[in-house]
Structure 1
Amino acid sequence: MIPPAESLLKYDNPALVSKSTDRKSPKGRPLKVSPQQPANTNPVPPSPKPKSASNDAPKQENEEILNSILPPREWLEGNQLWVQQVSSAPCTRADVIRLEELLDIKLQQRQARETGICPVRRELYSQCFDELIRQVTINCAERGLLLLRVRDEIQMTIAAYQTLYESSVAFGMRKALQAEQGKADMEKSISDLEEEKQELKKQLNEQKTKCETIEKRENEKRQVDEKKHTEEIQFLKRTNQQLKNQLEGIITSKK
């Protein structure tokens, strides 16, 4: 396992916990103890000792709270287990200014996007927020715990938005696939309808041709019938005239 990457969160120097494969539990890690004071033969008890103990108790409590808020990171290097705790050193105004400069430098180095969704920018700002929580917790543990609640709420909200975004993307993909499938079905239906249209057009042209042929044949037949009928009428008129003339001749001859 490679050592963790550099972070904007300030850590102490890494400490070696175990050199063999059988790791010791975190409870077995050596604690930092202030150097013991040499034994004093003076019968009067020294006054600084209780004062130091009273000052170390809140400091140790703040360190425990700080470690609970920002747990130490561990990694393996060969068979060696290294642990690096968050720094408990108080911060100054220069540290805050330096943090801002480091944030800008990291954003430029890692080419984070200025707008929109960017995991790199989110990671760097999260590290910066953790560092601010560390700085605040050293001065006021209660304020640090409150900031921890704010950070957790923000992360939970972002996770909810991320889940919503992923579900909406999946929903969009499903709808796109359905639309694509519907488009293919619609194109096939259009193609079938076009073929049917062409077939109907072909049948219509055939029927028109048949109709024209029938009309032409019927017109010719009608013309022939009309001509024959006209000739028959003319013949009957002539016959009628001849019979009329004969009848008039017979009547005239009898007179």
Structure 2
Amino acid sequence: MIPPPDSLVRYETPALITRNADKRSPKARALKTSSQPPAAPGPVPPPPKPRSPCAAAEQAKQQTEEVLNSILPPREWVEDNQLWIQQVSCTPSTRMDVLHLQEELDLKLQQRQARETGICPVRRELYSQCFDELIREVTINCIERGMLLHRVRDEIRMTIAAYQTLYESSVAFGMRKALQAEQGKADMEKKIAELEEEKRELERQVNEQKAKCEAVEKREIERRQVEEKKHGEEVQFLKRTNQQLKAQLEGIIAPKK
């Protein structure tokens, strides 16, 4: 693992964690929860004495650290076969710290070239870190208010995760529909090609039939002309024959008168 990147959340100095308990740093030993030995049987102890202001402040600080660790868990990483851990800072923030946080947020947005509009993971990450830092600052001053902001943060993250899941499912649905449309488009193009080929074949058959009809009509016209010519010649022949017979008949009848 590599050391975690810089964050807008303020952290304490990293503490070295090793397997040898004697070599652990005081900060690392403070991270382990101390187990209290079981109470020995005996008479009931006297009521506890009222705590001093210093003890009450120390207890409040410890409670704040526990709440902060539950809201913003410590960061851990391995470097040179050594485990390092880093807790969030319990130091209260001033007005100048908040102004510096705003400047640092704007600077990181510019350095990492986050988009101003639309979906941008970089912008979302930086604003999430800024919100965590605000939760840390508020929790130090008021634990209850910090827990409420922590609840709001978790609800926002859950809502964003739900929207992301919905978006991914919608994208998958859109891809399936697009693939189906592409497949249907290919089938329709194939069918259109087949229909166009069938149309060309039918047009070819129609042209052939038209050519046959024109040829038949031409032959019939020629045959009719030949028949009319032949019929005309026969009529003329019959007329001449009739004239000849009529003349012969008149020649035969005329001497008898």
Q: Secondary structure at the match of 1:76?
A: strand
1:62 is the counterpart of 2:64:
yes
Q: What SS does the corresponding residue of 2:30 show, helix, strand or coil?
A: coil
1:18–1:80 contact (8 Å) kept in structure 2: yes
d(CA) in 2 for partners of 1:137, 1:14: 21
Question: Which of these residues, 86, 108, 111, is aligned with residue 109 of structure 1?
Answer: 111
SS of structure 2 residue aligned to 1:30: helix
Q: In the TM superposition, what is the alpha-carbon distance from 1:250 to its structure 2 partner?
A: 4.3
Partner of 1:208: 210
Name the counterpart of 1:9: 9
Question: Is residue 20–residue 80 contact of structure 1 (8 Å, CA) maintained in 2?
Answer: no
- Structure 2 portions without partners, runs of 5+: 33-48
User: Given residue 55 of structure 1, which amino acid in structure 2 is its aligned partner?
Assistant: A
Q: Which runs of 5+ in 1 are unaligned?
A: 33-46
- Matched-pair contact (CA < 8 Å) for 1:19–1:80: no
1:91 to partner: Cα distance: 0.8
Give distance in 1, aligned partners of 2:80 and 2:87.
Answer: 20
Give the direction of change, closer, same or farther, for the CA distance of 1:20–1:197 in structure 2 (3 Å limit): farther
- In the TM superposition, residue 233 of structure 1 has moved relative to its aligned partner by 1.8
Q: Find the counterpart in structure 2 of residue 123 from structure 1.
A: 125
Name 2:152's counterpart in structure 1. Answer: 150
Residues 1:251 and 1:223: Cα distance change in structure 2 (over 3 Å):
same
| Partners of 1:15 and 1:82 within 8 A in 2 | yes
* TM-score of the pair, normalised by structure 1: 0.84
For the pair 1:88 / 2:105, whether they are aligned, the reply is no
- Aligned mates of 2:31, 2:51 — CA distance in 1: 20
Give the CA deviation at 1:225.
0.6
Structure 2: how far apart are the matches of 1:251 and 1:223?
A: 41
Give 1:77's aligned residue.
79
SS in 2 for 1:29: helix
Partner amino acid, structure 2, of 1:183: K
Structure 1 residues 105 and 31 mapped into 2: Cα distance closer, same or farther (>3 Å)?
same
Aligned residue identity for 2:4: P
**Preserved CA contact (<8 Å) 1:19 1:79:** no
What RMSD, in angstroms, separates the aligned Cα atoms of the two structures? Answer: 2.4
* In structure 2, C-alpha distance between the alignment counterparts of 1:48 and 1:6, rounded to whole Å: 44
> Is the counterpart of residue 230 in structure 1 residue 232 in structure 2?
yes
CA distance in 1, matches of 2:138, 2:54: 23
Aligned to 2:37: none
Per-residue Cα deviation, 1:34-68 (whole angstroms, up to 9, x for no partner): xxxxxxxxxxxxx9961212222222222211111
Paired AA for residue 105 in structure 2: L
Q: 1:139 aligns with which of 127, 132, 141?
A: 141
| Per-residue CA distance 1:104-140 (angstroms, 9 max, x = gap) | 1111111111111111111111000000000011111
Q: Residues 19 and 81 of structure 1 are in contact (CA less than 8 Å); yes or no, is this contact kept in structure 2? A: no
Query: Alpha-carbon deviation of 1:88?
Result: 0.8
Trace 1:160-239 onto structure 2 (pairs within 5 A). 160-239=162-241
Moved more, 239-248 or 62-71: 239-248
What is the CA-CA distance between 1:242 and the residue it aligns to?
A: 3.3
Q: Which amino acid aligns with 2:237?
A: F
2:242 maps to amino acid: N
Q: 1:243 aligns with which of 232, 242, 245?
A: 245
CA distance in 2: counterparts of 1:75 and 1:170, whole angstroms = 36
